[in-house]
Structure 1
Protein backbone atom coordinates (compact mmCIF):
# COMPACT_ATOMS: atom_id res chain seq x y z
CA UNK A 1 0.00 0.00 0.00
CA UNK A 2 1.17 3.50 -0.81
CA UNK A 3 -0.52 6.30 1.11
CA UNK A 4 -0.15 10.06 1.04
CA UNK A 5 1.56 11.64 4.02
CA UNK A 6 -0.38 14.65 5.24
CA UNK A 7 0.86 15.03 8.82
CA UNK A 8 4.34 15.20 10.40
CA UNK A 9 5.58 11.69 11.15
CA UNK A 10 3.03 10.23 8.70
CA UNK A 11 0.61 9.13 11.45
CA UNK A 12 0.96 5.43 10.59
CA UNK A 13 -1.13 3.11 12.73
CA UNK A 14 -2.67 -0.35 12.36
CA UNK A 15 -5.88 -1.77 13.68
CA UNK A 16 -9.23 -3.37 12.89
CA UNK A 17 -7.71 -6.68 11.75
CA UNK A 18 -10.23 -8.99 10.03
CA UNK A 19 -10.28 -12.78 9.78
CA UNK A 20 -12.75 -12.49 6.92
CA UNK A 21 -14.89 -9.90 5.23
CA UNK A 22 -17.07 -10.12 2.15
CA UNK A 23 -16.49 -7.56 -0.59
CA UNK A 24 -17.84 -4.25 0.60
CA UNK A 25 -18.31 -5.09 4.28
CA UNK A 26 -21.94 -4.58 3.31
CA UNK A 27 -23.47 -5.34 6.72
CA UNK A 28 -21.09 -2.92 8.43
CA UNK A 29 -19.25 -5.63 10.37
CA UNK A 30 -16.72 -8.42 9.93
CA UNK A 31 -15.03 -11.07 12.06
CA UNK A 32 -12.38 -9.09 13.93
CA UNK A 33 -9.32 -10.84 15.35
CA UNK A 34 -6.13 -9.92 17.16
CA UNK A 35 -2.79 -10.39 15.46
CA UNK A 36 0.85 -9.51 15.20
CA UNK A 37 2.05 -7.35 12.33
CA UNK A 38 5.51 -6.62 10.96
CA UNK A 39 5.54 -3.33 9.07
CA UNK A 40 8.17 -1.69 6.93
CA UNK A 41 7.70 1.99 6.08
CA UNK A 42 9.45 3.81 3.26
CA UNK A 43 9.08 7.39 2.06
CA UNK A 44 8.67 7.97 -1.68
CA UNK A 45 9.77 11.55 -2.15
CA UNK A 46 8.07 13.54 -4.89
CA UNK A 47 5.07 11.22 -5.36
CA UNK A 48 2.12 13.58 -5.17
CA UNK A 49 -1.01 11.53 -4.46
CA UNK A 50 -4.19 12.45 -2.64
CA UNK A 51 -5.35 8.92 -1.81
CA UNK A 52 -4.06 5.37 -1.34
CA UNK A 53 -2.67 3.11 -4.05
CA UNK A 54 -2.52 -0.66 -3.67
CA UNK A 55 -0.49 -3.33 -5.38
CA UNK A 56 -2.61 -6.34 -4.34
CA UNK A 57 -1.07 -9.80 -4.07
CA UNK A 58 -1.79 -11.67 -7.32
CA UNK A 59 -4.44 -13.96 -5.81
CA UNK A 60 -6.44 -10.90 -4.66
CA UNK A 61 -6.45 -9.26 -8.10
CA UNK A 62 -9.57 -9.40 -10.26
CA UNK A 63 -9.07 -12.07 -12.93
CA UNK A 64 -8.75 -9.55 -15.77
CA UNK A 65 -6.10 -7.52 -13.89
CA UNK A 66 -3.70 -10.39 -13.23
CA UNK A 67 -0.27 -10.14 -14.87
CA UNK A 68 0.00 -12.16 -18.06
CA UNK A 69 1.83 -15.49 -17.98
CA UNK A 70 4.70 -16.14 -20.40
CA UNK A 71 2.40 -18.45 -22.39
CA UNK A 72 -0.30 -15.75 -22.65
CA UNK A 73 2.30 -13.19 -23.73
CA UNK A 74 3.67 -15.55 -26.40
CA UNK A 75 0.17 -16.08 -27.82
CA UNK A 76 -0.51 -12.34 -27.74
CA UNK A 77 2.78 -11.57 -29.51
CA UNK A 78 1.98 -14.11 -32.23
CA UNK A 79 -1.46 -12.60 -32.75
CA UNK A 80 -0.07 -9.06 -32.75
CA UNK A 81 2.48 -10.06 -35.37
CA UNK A 82 -0.30 -11.45 -37.60
CA UNK A 83 -1.92 -8.01 -37.50
CA UNK A 84 1.28 -6.08 -38.09
CA UNK A 85 1.81 -4.81 -34.55
CA UNK A 86 5.48 -4.56 -33.62
CA UNK A 87 5.15 -4.67 -29.87
CA UNK A 88 2.69 -5.08 -27.03
CA UNK A 89 2.19 -2.52 -24.29
CA UNK A 90 3.91 -3.70 -21.11
CA UNK A 91 1.48 -3.48 -18.20
CA UNK A 92 1.24 -4.15 -14.49
CA UNK A 93 -1.68 -4.15 -12.04
CA UNK A 94 -2.52 -1.17 -9.89
CA UNK A 95 -5.46 -0.38 -7.60
CA UNK A 96 -6.33 3.24 -6.91
CA UNK A 97 -8.64 3.83 -3.97
CA UNK A 98 -11.59 6.16 -4.48
CA UNK A 99 -13.67 7.63 -1.67
CA UNK A 100 -16.86 9.66 -1.40
CA UNK A 101 -20.21 9.90 0.35
CA UNK A 102 -21.61 7.08 -1.82
CA UNK A 103 -20.37 4.48 -4.29
CA UNK A 104 -20.99 6.67 -7.35
CA UNK A 105 -18.93 9.52 -5.92
CA UNK A 106 -16.23 7.09 -4.74
CA UNK A 107 -16.02 5.57 -8.24
CA UNK A 108 -15.70 9.00 -9.85
CA UNK A 109 -13.03 9.93 -7.29
CA UNK A 110 -11.03 6.73 -7.93
CA UNK A 111 -11.19 7.17 -11.70
CA UNK A 112 -10.06 10.81 -11.40
CA UNK A 113 -7.22 9.89 -9.01
CA UNK A 114 -6.00 7.17 -11.37
CA UNK A 115 -6.18 9.51 -14.37
CA UNK A 116 -4.15 12.22 -12.59
CA UNK A 117 -1.63 9.73 -11.26
CA UNK A 118 -0.91 8.18 -14.65
CA UNK A 119 -1.48 11.24 -16.85
CA UNK A 120 -4.46 9.67 -18.61
CA UNK A 121 -7.98 10.80 -19.32
CA UNK A 122 -10.82 9.48 -17.19
CA UNK A 123 -12.33 7.71 -20.25
CA UNK A 124 -9.02 5.86 -20.78
CA UNK A 125 -9.00 4.72 -17.14
CA UNK A 126 -12.65 3.63 -17.49
CA UNK A 127 -11.78 1.59 -20.57
CA UNK A 128 -8.74 0.01 -18.94
CA UNK A 129 -10.77 -0.91 -15.84
CA UNK A 130 -13.48 -2.38 -18.07
CA UNK A 131 -11.14 -4.42 -20.30
CA UNK A 132 -8.30 -5.27 -17.87
CA UNK A 133 -9.67 -4.90 -14.37
CA UNK A 134 -12.63 -4.08 -12.19
CA UNK A 135 -14.22 -1.52 -9.93
CA UNK A 136 -14.76 -3.27 -6.61
CA UNK A 137 -16.61 -2.15 -3.51
CA UNK A 138 -14.02 -1.82 -0.77
CA UNK A 139 -16.49 -0.57 1.84
CA UNK A 140 -20.07 0.52 1.58
CA UNK A 141 -21.24 3.28 1.33
CA UNK A 142 -18.27 5.04 -0.28
CA UNK A 143 -14.90 3.32 -0.83
CA UNK A 144 -13.94 1.53 -4.07
CA UNK A 145 -10.86 -0.01 -5.64
CA UNK A 146 -10.27 0.96 -9.27
CA UNK A 147 -8.03 -1.86 -10.48
CA UNK A 148 -6.55 -2.24 -13.96
CA UNK A 149 -3.43 -3.02 -15.94
CA UNK A 150 -1.45 0.21 -16.31
CA UNK A 151 1.46 0.92 -18.66
CA UNK A 152 4.73 -0.04 -16.97
CA UNK A 153 6.50 2.99 -18.43
CA UNK A 154 4.04 5.36 -16.73
CA UNK A 155 4.35 3.55 -13.41
CA UNK A 156 8.15 3.74 -13.68
CA UNK A 157 8.05 7.43 -14.62
CA UNK A 158 6.35 8.30 -11.30
CA UNK A 159 8.74 6.16 -9.24
CA UNK A 160 6.61 3.04 -8.75
CA UNK A 161 8.80 0.69 -10.83
CA UNK A 162 10.60 -0.94 -7.89
CA UNK A 163 7.27 -1.80 -6.24
CA UNK A 164 5.94 -3.39 -9.44
CA UNK A 165 9.12 -5.48 -9.71
CA UNK A 166 8.96 -6.53 -6.06
CA UNK A 167 5.25 -7.40 -6.04
CA UNK A 168 4.79 -8.96 -9.50
CA UNK A 169 8.28 -9.72 -10.82
CA UNK A 170 7.67 -7.48 -13.83
CA UNK A 171 10.93 -5.89 -14.94
CA UNK A 172 10.68 -2.15 -15.44
Structure 2
Protein backbone atom coordinates (compact mmCIF):
# COMPACT_ATOMS: atom_id res chain seq x y z
CA UNK A 1 0.00 0.00 0.00
CA UNK A 2 1.46 3.36 -0.97
CA UNK A 3 -0.59 5.45 1.49
CA UNK A 4 -1.02 4.47 5.14
CA UNK A 5 -4.06 5.66 7.09
CA UNK A 6 -2.97 6.97 10.49
CA UNK A 7 -6.41 8.08 11.70
CA UNK A 8 -9.87 8.72 10.35
CA UNK A 9 -12.75 10.88 11.55
CA UNK A 10 -16.20 11.50 10.15
CA UNK A 11 -16.74 15.21 9.55
CA UNK A 12 -20.22 15.14 7.99
CA UNK A 13 -23.12 12.74 7.45
CA UNK A 14 -26.60 12.91 5.96
CA UNK A 15 -29.01 10.29 4.57
CA UNK A 16 -27.11 10.04 1.27
CA UNK A 17 -23.42 10.18 2.12
CA UNK A 18 -20.72 10.71 4.70
CA UNK A 19 -17.49 12.63 4.47
CA UNK A 20 -14.41 11.63 6.39
CA UNK A 21 -11.01 13.19 6.84
CA UNK A 22 -8.08 10.80 7.07
CA UNK A 23 -4.64 11.64 8.39
CA UNK A 24 -2.27 9.78 6.07
CA UNK A 25 1.37 8.98 5.50
CA UNK A 26 2.56 8.56 1.93
CA UNK A 27 5.09 5.87 0.96
CA UNK A 28 7.83 8.52 1.00
CA UNK A 29 7.02 9.35 4.64
CA UNK A 30 5.31 12.67 3.92
CA UNK A 31 2.16 13.16 6.03
CA UNK A 32 -1.05 14.56 4.65
CA UNK A 33 -4.82 14.76 4.79
CA UNK A 34 -7.22 12.93 2.52
CA UNK A 35 -10.93 13.82 2.27
CA UNK A 36 -13.20 10.95 1.24
CA UNK A 37 -16.90 10.91 0.33
CA UNK A 38 -18.48 7.54 1.17
CA UNK A 39 -21.68 6.51 -0.59
CA UNK A 40 -23.45 3.18 -1.01
CA UNK A 41 -23.41 1.39 -4.36
CA UNK A 42 -25.60 2.70 -7.14
CA UNK A 43 -26.69 1.61 -10.60
CA UNK A 44 -26.93 3.09 -14.08
CA UNK A 45 -29.32 1.56 -16.60
CA UNK A 46 -29.32 1.70 -20.40
CA UNK A 47 -33.00 1.33 -21.36
CA UNK A 48 -32.86 0.27 -25.01
CA UNK A 49 -35.89 -0.55 -27.13
CA UNK A 50 -34.74 -1.39 -30.66
CA UNK A 51 -33.07 1.79 -31.91
CA UNK A 52 -34.52 3.99 -29.12
CA UNK A 53 -32.81 4.82 -25.87
CA UNK A 54 -34.59 6.38 -22.91
CA UNK A 55 -33.01 9.20 -20.91
CA UNK A 56 -33.91 11.26 -17.89
CA UNK A 57 -33.82 15.03 -17.85
CA UNK A 58 -33.46 16.52 -14.39
CA UNK A 59 -32.12 19.54 -12.54
CA UNK A 60 -28.68 18.96 -11.06
CA UNK A 61 -28.19 21.34 -8.16
CA UNK A 62 -24.37 21.23 -8.10
CA UNK A 63 -24.09 22.71 -11.58
CA UNK A 64 -27.44 24.57 -11.57
CA UNK A 65 -28.56 23.04 -14.88
CA UNK A 66 -31.09 20.62 -16.26
CA UNK A 67 -29.21 17.63 -17.63
CA UNK A 68 -29.86 14.59 -19.79
CA UNK A 69 -28.52 11.28 -18.52
CA UNK A 70 -29.25 7.60 -18.28
CA UNK A 71 -31.48 6.54 -15.36
CA UNK A 72 -29.23 6.07 -12.34
CA UNK A 73 -29.13 6.24 -8.60
CA UNK A 74 -28.91 4.43 -5.33
CA UNK A 75 -31.10 3.55 -2.39
CA UNK A 76 -28.78 4.44 0.47
CA UNK A 77 -28.85 0.78 1.48
CA UNK A 78 -25.68 -1.23 1.94
CA UNK A 79 -25.38 -4.70 0.42
CA UNK A 80 -28.35 -4.43 -1.95
CA UNK A 81 -28.52 -6.79 -4.92
CA UNK A 82 -27.23 -4.72 -7.88
CA UNK A 83 -29.83 -6.03 -10.35
CA UNK A 84 -32.66 -5.33 -7.91
CA UNK A 85 -31.30 -1.80 -7.50
CA UNK A 86 -31.03 -1.32 -11.29
CA UNK A 87 -34.57 -2.59 -11.83
CA UNK A 88 -35.83 -0.32 -9.08
CA UNK A 89 -34.11 2.76 -10.46
CA UNK A 90 -35.41 2.00 -13.95
CA UNK A 91 -38.99 1.74 -12.62
CA UNK A 92 -38.72 4.80 -10.35
CA UNK A 93 -37.29 7.12 -12.97
CA UNK A 94 -38.74 5.92 -16.27
CA UNK A 95 -41.79 3.85 -15.36
CA UNK A 96 -40.38 0.91 -17.33
CA UNK A 97 -39.89 -2.66 -16.25
CA UNK A 98 -37.46 -4.78 -18.21
CA UNK A 99 -37.91 -8.35 -19.38
CA UNK A 100 -34.14 -8.72 -19.49
CA UNK A 101 -31.35 -7.04 -17.53
CA UNK A 102 -27.84 -7.69 -18.82
CA UNK A 103 -24.96 -6.90 -16.48
CA UNK A 104 -22.27 -4.96 -18.34
CA UNK A 105 -19.80 -4.14 -15.58
CA UNK A 106 -18.94 -2.10 -12.53
CA UNK A 107 -17.27 1.32 -12.32
CA UNK A 108 -15.96 3.53 -9.53
CA UNK A 109 -17.66 6.88 -10.08
CA UNK A 110 -14.91 9.29 -8.95
CA UNK A 111 -12.35 7.37 -6.92
CA UNK A 112 -10.06 10.37 -6.60
CA UNK A 113 -12.29 11.61 -3.76
CA UNK A 114 -15.33 9.33 -3.53
CA UNK A 115 -15.87 5.70 -2.62
CA UNK A 116 -18.93 4.73 -4.62
CA UNK A 117 -19.34 1.83 -7.00
CA UNK A 118 -21.82 1.90 -9.88
CA UNK A 119 -23.23 -1.22 -11.51
CA UNK A 120 -24.07 -0.94 -15.22
CA UNK A 121 -27.02 -2.77 -16.78
CA UNK A 122 -28.61 -2.95 -20.21
CA UNK A 123 -32.41 -3.14 -19.96
CA UNK A 124 -34.39 -4.65 -22.87
CA UNK A 125 -37.92 -5.90 -23.38
CA UNK A 126 -39.32 -2.71 -21.87
CA UNK A 127 -42.90 -2.40 -20.64
CA UNK A 128 -44.22 0.93 -19.35
CA UNK A 129 -45.96 0.55 -16.00
CA UNK A 130 -45.98 4.12 -14.68
CA UNK A 131 -43.36 6.11 -12.78
CA UNK A 132 -42.66 5.83 -9.07
CA UNK A 133 -40.23 8.69 -8.33
CA UNK A 134 -38.65 9.57 -5.00
CA UNK A 135 -39.78 12.94 -3.56
CA UNK A 136 -36.47 14.45 -4.74
CA UNK A 137 -37.22 13.30 -8.29
CA UNK A 138 -40.46 15.22 -8.80
CA UNK A 139 -39.07 17.14 -11.78
CA UNK A 140 -37.81 14.20 -13.86
CA UNK A 141 -38.77 14.22 -17.52
CA UNK A 142 -38.55 11.04 -19.58
CA UNK A 143 -36.97 11.65 -22.99
CA UNK A 144 -36.13 9.29 -25.81
CA UNK A 145 -33.80 9.47 -28.76
CA UNK A 146 -32.56 7.22 -31.49
CA UNK A 147 -29.15 5.70 -30.81
CA UNK A 148 -27.67 7.97 -33.50
CA UNK A 149 -29.21 11.07 -31.89
CA UNK A 150 -28.00 9.94 -28.46
CA UNK A 151 -24.45 9.39 -29.69
CA UNK A 152 -24.48 12.82 -31.33
CA UNK A 153 -25.52 14.33 -27.97
CA UNK A 154 -22.53 12.58 -26.37
CA UNK A 155 -20.18 13.97 -29.02
CA UNK A 156 -21.53 17.53 -29.11
CA UNK A 157 -21.58 17.96 -25.32
CA UNK A 158 -25.34 17.98 -24.87
CA UNK A 159 -24.79 15.04 -22.51
CA UNK A 160 -21.79 15.51 -20.21
CA UNK A 161 -22.58 13.03 -17.43
CA UNK A 162 -19.54 10.77 -17.05
CA UNK A 163 -21.62 7.84 -15.78
CA UNK A 164 -23.78 7.98 -18.91
CA UNK A 165 -20.75 8.28 -21.20
CA UNK A 166 -18.84 5.46 -19.49
CA UNK A 167 -21.89 3.16 -19.36
CA UNK A 168 -22.41 3.66 -23.09
CA UNK A 169 -18.74 2.81 -23.68
CA UNK A 170 -19.19 -0.48 -21.80
CA UNK A 171 -22.32 -1.20 -23.81
CA UNK A 172 -20.55 -0.56 -27.13
CA UNK A 173 -17.69 -2.89 -26.15
CA UNK A 174 -20.14 -5.57 -25.02
CA UNK A 175 -22.16 -5.23 -28.24
CA UNK A 176 -19.06 -5.45 -30.43
CA UNK A 177 -17.97 -8.62 -28.66
CA UNK A 178 -21.44 -10.11 -29.03
CA UNK A 179 -21.27 -9.47 -32.77
CA UNK A 180 -17.76 -10.87 -33.22
CA UNK A 181 -18.26 -13.81 -30.84
CA UNK A 182 -15.39 -12.65 -28.59
CA UNK A 183 -15.93 -13.00 -24.86
TM-score by length of 1: 0.28
Question: Which structure: greater helix fraction?
Answer: 1
Relative contact order (alpha carbons < 8 A, sep ≥ 6): 1 or 2 greater? 1
